[in-house]
Amino acid sequence: MTQEEIYAEAIGRIRERRRAAERLQETRTDQIRREIPETAELDNQLRSACLSITHVLGKGDNRAKLEEIARHSMEADAMLRKILAAHGYPEDYLDLHYSCTICDDTGFTGGKPCKCLEQEIGRVGAEALNARSQLSLSGFDDFSLSYYADLPTEQYYAMQQNLAVCQEYAADFSPERAGNLYLFGGTGLGKTHLSLAIANEVLKKGYNVIYDSAINLMHILDQEQFRRTRESGDTLPSLLECDLLILDDFGTEFDTAFSRSMLYTIINSRVNAHKPMIVNTNLTHQEVQDRYGDRILSRLQRDGCIWLTVCADVRPVCVMCCTCT
């Protein structure tokens, strides 16, 4: 999707929320009028008051008239709320309940895009990227520790700890507080499963998550950078701004000046902005340093990054330390 298409989709979703809120209010109003007929007159008074205010505003200084209309409206509203409560409904049952109380689901406030629109743009962009990903979401429920049952006791315990750390990370996740996770280990030992289980839980909270392999993302960025695609180069901003970025198979991408530059830009920008990442790799600290240099390694070690070893044949888990090798 181009940025224009992402923006249009996000605006469309915001407007649909507003229409849905208005439809819900109309449905509830019709329901209450049938069940409690005496509310119909009060509701009509409130609607007439709104029309009267519009009429009076166009006729110069009518402050006294406006105050009178406002007083009658407040009395009718108070009576309507009492009747609703007496019949077991919430007092605000007939109010319009917009998803965003800042912009009332218009997408704008003070002439500028509302935070809800910015979040929806990020969510649409993440969905577009994830649709091209070869990864499928997993869950914690189908992560089986029995796979590691034949390991030495300390390694099996390490995997239990890994699972617990990832579950806690997902449960407590917020873009402002979450740190970074670096999952190290061989192929087929659970790194991707654990990180996508986290993604599953984070998506349920309403945050936007981008998850893909490093090689696929570098290919997409290369295509956009050198205009080998109809898309207009919108992937990098999404990678920098999403609430959580999951970079799978870090180190398997083609080692080119472009890919190293892109990876540094992504990692450095997100670390500086305190935006969380999960990085899955089979590279040790030394191998990261040898391949990418100190700049990327030092940024992966900043801000209390949690390093987890998901591997059956090397050292056990190191949860809070970033200096083990």
pLDDT band of residue 304 (cuts 50, 70, 90) is: low
Tokens read off for 83: 């009747």
- The 10s digit of each residue's pLDDT in 308-320 is 887 544 333 333 3
Question: What pLDDT score was predicted for residue 308?
Answer: 81
Mean pLDDT of 269-273: 91
Whole-number Å distance between alpha carbons of 244 and 75: 49
Handedness of CA 237, 283, 316, 297 (dihedral sign): negative
Q: Cβ distance 203 to 126 under 8 Å? A: no
Structure tokens at 84: 């609703």
State the pLDDT confidence band at 22, using cuts at 50, 70 and 90.
very high
pLDDT in tens, 90-112: 999 989 999 999 999 999 999 89
For 132-309, which CATH class?
alpha beta
Domain locations along the chain: 3-109, 132-309
CB atoms within 10 A of CB 101: 9
pTM (two decimals)? 0.68
pLDDT tens digits along 157-193: 888 888 999 999 999 999 888 889 988 887 777 888 8
What confidence tens digit (pLDDT) does each residue in 33-57 have? 899 888 887 777 776 766 665 565 5
> Taking the CA of residue 316 as centre, how many other CA atoms within 13 Å lie in the half-sphere pointing to its CB?
12
Q: Are 210 and 129 in contact (CB under 8 A)?
A: yes
90 token code pair: 């919430």
Contact 211, 196 (CB under 8 A): yes
Q: If you average pLDDT over every residue of the chain, what do you get?
A: 82
